């Protein structure tokens, strides 16, 4: 097995967490995959994988080497695609990342359909609420719900997302419905704290900040935050996609709609621009078309029971703050 194939085998084993699974992905035998990684470690003079009878994990050197391998192999794939034809059949491994809840609800079904269309393709999905650095972590495409900073990434707009405040009918009946942001100080709320990210303030139209309600409960997952709001634990701030079903079913009600901040832009981003591999270009084109058809990405989809649309007004000059 040549050096390039050893690198690809190491990446497959490391990403799958198994010599057997990595071997299947590379279409070689498990002993051949084991020998390839051992040969690579001998060549480098460093241990890349810690092996036990029950688990396989990367060493510190292995983590750094894996990131470099992903980047180098990705660049090689792009170079080959540029030579062999811009519209080649997608092949190899496509790696996609998105926020956890949006990924499971909206990106995963797209990925399943895309794999069905392209039998030569494999995929890796990372759905997480932490900020993923595409190039450093060897990922191909990300869905971002945020105002994007300047970077070397190509960004394809697919829509925008409302930021809303919601509460359960039972909570609002017991504690009253706030009519202005200033009244939030009289309410309790469910907070969200994601590791590595600053807590966002409760901001509204015209960039105004209001006294935050007392966060009686703080969680680290959006689905738990929504479940707590449904259970009447307090008000919650949420991106529209996180509460679409609950609002439609009458389990949550949107409040302070007239004071919402400007919608948050949503993009698909990827490195390399026009030099991207066929698998990346094809997936971005396919996913963008599907995502632009989602009502929730066009400021729609938050209808109250019986089809009555919730009131909605935004100030296009106010900044997105999620």
* pLDDT digits (tens), the chain, 322 positions: 689 999 999 988 988 888 988 888 888 898 999 999 999 999 999 999 998 877 788 999 998 898 888 878 877 776 776 666 545 678 888 999 999 999 999 999 999 999 999 998 999 999 998 888 887 787 899 999 988 876 677 889 999 999 999 999 999 999 999 999 989 989 999 998 877 566 667 888 766 666 678 888 999 889 999 999 999 999 999 999 999 999 999 999 999 999 988 899 999 998 865 556 788 889 999 999 999 999 999 887 676 554 333 333 333 323 332 3
pLDDT on residue 200: 67
CB 91 within 8 A of CB 279: yes
Q: Selecting from 3.40.190.10, 3.30.1330.30, 1.10.10.10, 3.40.640.10, what CATH number does the domain 161-263+298-307 have?
A: 3.40.190.10
- Burial (0-12, 13-18, 19+ Cβ within 10 Å), 247: buried
Domain ranges within the chain, ordered by starting residue: 1-84, 161-263+298-307
CATH 1.25.40.10 assigned to 1-84: no
Distance CA 167, CA 247 (A): 9
pTM for this entry: 0.67
Which H or E element spans position 61? helix 60-84
Phi, psi of 266 (to 5 degrees): -125, 130
């Amino acid at each position: 097995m040549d050096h390039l194939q050893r690198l690809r085998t190491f990446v497959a084993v490391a990403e799958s967490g198994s010599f057997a699974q990595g071997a299947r992905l590379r279409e070689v035998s498990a002993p051949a995959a084991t020998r390839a990684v051992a040969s690579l470690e001998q060549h480098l003079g460093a241990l890349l994988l810690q092996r036990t009878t029950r688990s396989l994990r990367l060493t510190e050197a292995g983590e750094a080497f894996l990131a470099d391998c992903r980047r180098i192999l990705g660049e090689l794939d792009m170079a080959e695609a540029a030579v062999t034809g811009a519209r080649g059949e997608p092949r190899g491994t496509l790696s996609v990342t998105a926020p956890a809840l949006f990924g499971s609800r909206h990106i995963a079904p797209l990925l399943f359909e895309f794999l069905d269309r392209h039998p030569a393709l494999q995929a890796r999905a990372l759905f997480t609420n932490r900020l993923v650095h595409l190039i450093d972590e060897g990922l191909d495409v990300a869905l971002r719900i945020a105002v994007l900073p300047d970077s070397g990434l190509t960004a394809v707009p697919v829509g925008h997302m409302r930021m809303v405040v919601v509460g359960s009918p039972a909570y609002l009946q017991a504690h009253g419905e706030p009519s202005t942001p200033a009244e939030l100080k009289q309410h309790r709320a469910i907070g969200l704290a994601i590791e590595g990210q600053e807590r966002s303030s409760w901001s509204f139209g015209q960039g105004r900040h209001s006294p935050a309600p007392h966060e009686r409960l703080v969680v680290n997952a959006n689905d738990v935050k929504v479940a707590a709001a449904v259970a009447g634990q307090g008000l919650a701030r949420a991106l529209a996609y996180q509460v679409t079903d609950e609002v439609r079913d009458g389990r949550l009600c949107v409040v302070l709609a007239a004071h919402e901040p400007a919608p948050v832009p949503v993009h698909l981003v990827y490195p390399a621009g026009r030099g991207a591999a066929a698998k990346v270009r094809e997936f971005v084109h396919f996913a963008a078309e599907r995502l632009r058809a989602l009502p929730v990405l066009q400021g729609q989809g938050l209808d109250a029971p019986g089809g009555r649309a919730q009131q909605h007004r935004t100030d296009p000059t106010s900044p997105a703050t999620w």
